[in-house]
Structure 1
Amino acid sequence: MGDRGAKRVFLNHIDLYSSKWIGKFLSNCVAGESLEEAGEAEASEDERSSPDALGNVKDGTFEIVGTLLNEDKKKDKKATFALEEYLAVTQEQLLPHLMKCDVIIYNISEDADQIDEASWAVSALHAELDNFDHPKMFILVSTLLTWALSKSLDPDDPDVPFTEEDYRKRRPHPNFKDHISVEKLVIKMGKTNKSKLSTYVVASGLQYGMGENLFHFFFKMSWLGEVSRIPVFGPGNNILPTIHVNDLAGLLQNVIDHQPKIHYLVGVDDSKNSFEDIVKAISSAVGPGKIQNVPKEDIFLTQNFTQNDIDSLFMNLRIEAIFLKENFNLNWVSETGIVENIDLIVEEYRRTRGLLPLRVCVFGPPAVGKSTVAEKICKQYKLHHIKLKDTITESIAQLENHIGMEDVESESDESANEAQEFLATLKENMEQNAGRLDDQFVIQIMADKLQSQPCKNQGFVLDGFPKTYEQAKELFAANEDEAEETNSKIPTFNKKMIPEFVFSLEASDAFLINRVMNLPESVVQGTHLAQEPFLRHLTAYRDVNTEDETVLNYFDELEIHPEQTEIASDDDIEYLVVMEKVCKILGKPRNYGPTKEEQELQEQRAAAERLRQMEAEKAEAERKEAEEAADRAARWEEWSNRLAEVRQQEEELLEAQSVPLRNYLMKNVMPTLTQGLIQCCRLKPDDPVDFLAEYLFRNRPEID
């Protein structure tokens, strides 16, 4: 297998972390390349670790094929380094693919569910030995947790490290007995006919680099900057054997090319870092710089670790890869470990995950809306809003807090004394300048803020500062070790601080004055928008920006050309048009989007919110219906009361109107009518009505 022709390599689950990077690495390696002298085969660090470079294909490189675990990855797009991908294939379907390969690599270090398939694969290949048309190599990538409970080689000196030669003495962690069983099976299968099927086991240390996997929890927590201390679960003094994932890939490349006589190899770097050492290095390089030991059991309260991860982080093992160092041509990415190479690892982490800081400046005259636009950019892109006044206030508060701390941990008294002296200097300078600071102190405070971990991680939006060419030149000046030979016309600058995007909001004086005059008195009172300070600030801004060397000229000289936007109407009070232009220029956010768990939580919250709104709407409808029913009942009662009152009034009116009529009848009708009725009753005529009428006619009274 040492020829220079292309060889087909099978990898299981090439959409998982380590298999993916192993596949990418090998796809860029020429078969037999590691057999050359290190000087001839050496590749640059960027060529070995850059995701783009790993996707390039050279003549005679390994052809990578493999299975996929996640169907979603298949839907996205085919891996650039893979010749073929197999999703949801049966063992019967997979075996023909394995038979076509020169090298079969089964990685069980990050997915224990692959143990059974790895056992089947090596057994199935062994059963097909007579049908091989060319020699094959089977490599099992296992984990050093199969060594986790190994007894010390020297009871008097527990720090004596294990080596590959001690592999028969290894004792596994209780959760990794199946791993050691498949390790033994793989080695056994390679003893039957080594010329046709050679087998190897590579016991890998904990893998890191290229965006991280096991240690990602600590990197992400540090990068987000939401806690003041990064947790270390338990005492943290356990030694973790580690290896950069690309160094593990390089080890596999050497195994394929060299076909070593030893069949059990250990893959670790030279470090002997403890769990606490690693977390402290991550916190210092990416986060707050402080750690906190928490109870070991707290790790079970997080949803970020599998049981495999937990077992890995609590492993305590000293082991050396003697054979690797003495016999292989490995172009190490991180030979001395994660702590010694933390800057490189952090750079990989940021680049691989696209966590590059976004640095923005927003300029413009007073009342043009700089702060509103800056705030919207910060909210949209999760950046830090840097305002001069707030930063100075925050810096003074931090100095006072630092001086007042009784527990300064490992920081020296000298640090506290320096803080006290600087605070005294600032206050003295402010007293001498009516509450303002000289430029030299302003620049120092702002530079410290822009170089703070949050600003280096996520990025920032500078709101209206620097104000002049000289301030910009001093603020973004390069350190001596960062200065480069450049055109003399272009000032040197700090590449890690300089804004990538500059936005200038423009408006006429008449528009700005009219806008401020139309603001409510409660809004402008006591602020820089009050008439006198506003006009003074506007005049000062125009004076500064009429010179040849303006702050915008500074960025122009660095070929960071400001994007100018005219604000001429108050119709767009939400600055939607401005933000549309800004977002188009800035592109997509360069930070963590919501995780799957966070998305599910957001969906649950949205569903709960919709349910709450529906219940609120139902309650509101019931309330309105009850109000309307009560209103109807009240109106009905009022109407009934008024109707009864009207009827009573009508009866009283009729009663009053009937009195004269009754009097008339009693005086003029009733006496005659009564006598007529009496006569009718006495005489009993045949026609009483006619008799009564005749009687009344004859005896009608005389009416005045």
Structure 2
Amino acid sequence: YYCRTIIFTIVGDHLIVTFIPALHSELEHFTGPKMFILLSTVMTWALSKPIDPDDPEIPFTEDDYRRRRPHPNFKDHISVEKLVIKFGKTSRFSTYVVASGLQYGMGEKDFHFFFKMAWLGDAPSLPVFGNGSNIIPTIHINDLAKVMQNTIDHNPKTHYLIAVDDSKHTLEEIVKVISTTLGPDKIQEVPKENVFLNRDLTQTSIDTLLVNLRMEAVFLKENFNISWSAETGIVENIQNIIKEYKENRGLQPVKICILGPPAVGKSTVSEMICKQYKLHHIKIKDVIAEAIDAIEKRTQLPEDEDQEEDHEEMIKDAQELLEAIRENMEQNGDRLDDQYVIRFMKDKLKSKQCQNQGFVLDGFPKTYDQAKELFNIEDEEEEEESRGKLPQYDKKIMPEVIFSLDASDEFLKKRVMNLPESVVAGTHYAQDQFLRRLALFRDLNTEEDTVLNYFDELEIHPEHIGKSFQNATIQKMKKIIGKPRNYGLTPEEQAELDRKLVDERLKREATEQAEREKKEEQEKAERALRLEEWNKRLEEVKRQEHEMLEAQSIPLRNYLMRNVMPTLTQGLIECCKVRPDDPVDFLVNTKIYKNINKRLLNK
């Protein structure tokens, strides 16, 4: 009740069906005029019949909104549009419907499927559903916001507005420019039915990508003052759109260089970092092999005969380059001069995969001159802008983090000596070759113009990491690099990770249960052993007590046998002879008993 302007977007929840009538019934309580704007979609026009059947290229405009026919899955949307317009015909409550084209920009929405597939670079081509000739009305999200703001400011008489840019791009044109600029540079037509097999596309996305509409926002151009962000559409503004997409999605490349002496573990660490951050592992040997293979493919004639003439000059250039490379390798013992290595490395770092996800340079460049040649600026205009500042370098391929791994010569020699023979065979770790490479590395890094000095001059200061356990090294590097800047795990990778976590948990629980059972068995055995030992000790104590009592009773028994038993035996004999009525009294009064008492008292 206190808002002057209310904007509603239809996203599956049609609470507006009850909200609009309730709001309209409260007109008399309004403190001032209210404006209600419904942000709808051009999909309510999807099945509209052409204005002129003989000329299907005539675009729809706001004046044709009563002729619109919705896509079957958007019938509820057109019902809401009609309801909004119906309740907005009063001076105190004005309503507007803005039919938006497919939105793009600032992270993408309807076209995110293609942007993500192109950025990941896993597929050799981007799919075009059907023949791709369907025209898709579009608008940049910033331009849509400007349309909404102008509607609020101008309060136009027309209650139905179309918000689309000037482009009349087909699905094929849009997918092709995304693939060319961001992805594999190829597209492939697939049957429309295949779109339903894709898990990444919702039914709404499928419907919007297959729409075929020519629309023109005549009213906006004639009445609104809009400073367009992308008036000409997605194709002409693809560079800015890709920049927005990467920034809003946090998809900035991670560029790393790992340097250090031979056998320090650069390749092992690089592989682990690449795996955790989903980066491309750049090794000199692989880059050279890949480049030569690509050149060899360019020397072959295309299968399409129509393109043979266009490729003749390119084939000739490729053959000359291939011959020059082979000649250079023969002269240098299967090694290439820096001019070719630098060229191949620069092309690799500028590839879309490395520019999208990032890379880890493994042990290259090795010298100051190699670094300078690799990262120098080729664009003269860009070089002019940088003059007078820091030394010029190509920011697109320059690593943002430099790691320098180091260890003593003794440590490295011992590490190589402990490597299995199967690992050392055919590698640079052979004893003579390794020592020569280690000596060369030390010589190159004792001069003033070292590769690390090059990065220091550019104020990209290397991070020095000494020898330590592998996991500790990785943890240090991850702390410096920061969080990954990618889409994270795919559903398949997440499922595999979850499965591994479950397996590890079950294995851990089984191990803990086995340890508990083992511990209980040990405790049970120890208790039985302690009980047996206690019983033995108890028997021993009883035996010792018995022996002690026996030993203590011997003097008393001897005394009794010697002094008491003879007299007592005599008295008993006398008692048996006399047989008195009271034997005890008889014994007490006899002389024998008195003699016993006397002896006891004397004793």
Per the normalisation by structure 1, the TM-score is: 0.69
Greater share of residues in helix: 2
Deviation by residue 1:48-104 (Cα, 9 ceiling, x = unmatched): xxxxxxxxxxxxxxxxxxxxxxxxxxxxxxxxxxxxxxxxxxxxxxxxxxx221111
Of the three residues 338, 345, 351, the one matched with 1:446 is 345
Secondary structure of residue in 1 paired with 2:51? coil
Of the three residues 568, 586, 611, the one matched with 2:481 is 586
Secondary structure of residue in 1 paired with 2:76? helix
Give unpaired runs (5+ residues) of structure 2.
Answer: 515-603
- The equivalences for 1:245-394 within 5 A come to 245-394=141-290
Preserved CA contact (<8 Å) 2:301 2:315: no
Preserved CA contact (<8 Å) 1:136 1:197: yes
Deviation by residue 1:499-552 (Cα, 9 ceiling, x = unmatched): 000000112222222222232322212210111111111111112112211111
The count of corresponding residues between Structure 1 and Structure 2 is: 508
Deviation by residue 1:563-584 (Cα, 9 ceiling, x = unmatched): 01122x6xx2xx1111111011
Preserved CA contact (<8 Å) 2:8 2:37: yes
Question: Following the alignment from structure 1 to structure 2, what is the Cα–Cα distance between the partners of residues 304 and 170?
Answer: 30
- The equivalences for 1:54-453 within 5 A come to 99-108=1-10, 111=11, 113-114=12-13, 116-191=14-89, 193-194=90-91, 196-404=92-300, 406-407=302-303, 412-413=310-311, 414-453=313-352
Preserved CA contact (<8 Å) 2:128 2:175: yes
Preserved CA contact (<8 Å) 1:484 1:492: no
Are 1:473 and 2:372 an aligned pair? yes
Letter in 1 for 2:6: I
Secondary structure of residue in 1 paired with 2:252? coil
Secondary structure of residue in 2 paired with 1:305? coil
Preserved CA contact (<8 Å) 2:195 2:206: yes
- Give 1:600 shift: 6.8
Question: Following the alignment from structure 2 to structure 1, what is the Cα–Cα distance between the partners of residues 252 and 170?
Answer: 29
Secondary structure of residue in 1 paired with 2:299? helix
Change (3 A) 1:136 1:416: farther
Deviation by residue 1:104-142 (Cα, 9 ceiling, x = unmatched): 11111xx2x22x312222211111111111211000111
Letter in 1 for 2:278: K
- Structure 1 equivalent of residue 566 of structure 2: none
Q: Mark the structure with the bigger radius of gyration.
A: 2
- Structure 2 equivalent of residue 75 of structure 1: none
Preserved CA contact (<8 Å) 1:268 1:321: yes
- Give 1:322 shift: 1.1
Are 1:506 and 2:388 an aligned pair? no
- Higher mean displacement: 241-250 or 174-183: 174-183
Letter in 2 for 1:524: V
Preserved CA contact (<8 Å) 1:232 1:292: yes
Are 1:461 and 2:360 an aligned pair? yes
Change (3 A) 1:133 1:447: same
Letter in 2 for 1:394: E
Letter in 2 for 1:139: I
Change (3 A) 1:488 1:248: closer
- Give 1:479 shift: 2.4
Question: Following the alignment from structure 1 to structure 2, what is the Cα–Cα distance between the partners of residues 469 and 615?
Answer: 54
- Give 1:606 shift: 4.6
- Give 1:599 shift: 7.9
Letter in 2 for 1:241: P
- Structure 2 equivalent of residue 54 of structure 1: none
Question: Following the alignment from structure 1 to structure 2, what is the Cα–Cα distance between the partners of residues 200 and 215?
Answer: 27
Letter in 1 for 2:495: L
- Give 1:614 shift: 11
Secondary structure of residue in 1 paired with 2:205? helix
Secondary structure of residue in 1 paired with 2:86? helix
Letter in 1 for 2:453: N
- Give 1:402 shift: 3.7
- Structure 2 equivalent of residue 93 of structure 1: none
- Structure 2 equivalent of residue 522 of structure 1: 422
Preserved CA contact (<8 Å) 1:206 1:243: yes
Secondary structure of residue in 1 paired with 2:281? strand
Question: Following the alignment from structure 1 to structure 2, what is the Cα–Cα distance between the partners of residues 498 and 614?
Answer: 44
Secondary structure of residue in 2 paired with 1:483? helix
Are 1:545 and 2:441 an aligned pair? no
Q: Equivalent pairs: percent with the same residue?
A: 60
Alpha-carbon RMSD:
2.3
Preserved CA contact (<8 Å) 1:138 1:200: yes
- Give 1:553 shift: 0.8
- Structure 1 equivalent of residue 385 of structure 2: 485
Preserved CA contact (<8 Å) 2:103 2:141: yes
Question: Following the alignment from structure 1 to structure 2, what is the Cα–Cα distance between the partners of residues 598 and 434?
Answer: 45
Question: Following the alignment from structure 1 to structure 2, what is the Cα–Cα distance between the partners of residues 270 and 525?
Answer: 65
Give unpaired runs (5+ residues) of structure 1.
Answer: 1-98, 621-704
Change (3 A) 1:488 1:471: farther
Question: Following the alignment from structure 2 to structure 1, what is the Cα–Cα distance between the partners of residues 279 and 104?
Answer: 28
Question: Following the alignment from structure 1 to structure 2, what is the Cα–Cα distance between the partners of residues 614 and 470?
Answer: 53
Change (3 A) 1:139 1:343: same
Question: Following the alignment from structure 1 to structure 2, what is the Cα–Cα distance between the partners of residues 392 and 603?
Answer: 34
Preserved CA contact (<8 Å) 1:473 1:491: no
Secondary structure of residue in 2 paired with 1:495? coil
- Higher mean displacement: 495-504 or 210-219: 210-219
Question: Following the alignment from structure 1 to structure 2, what is the Cα–Cα distance between the partners of residues 524 and 105?
Answer: 70
Secondary structure of residue in 2 paired with 1:317? coil
Preserved CA contact (<8 Å) 2:298 2:314: no
Deviation by residue 1:438-474 (Cα, 9 ceiling, x = unmatched): 1111111000000011100100000111111111111
- Structure 1 equivalent of residue 546 of structure 2: none
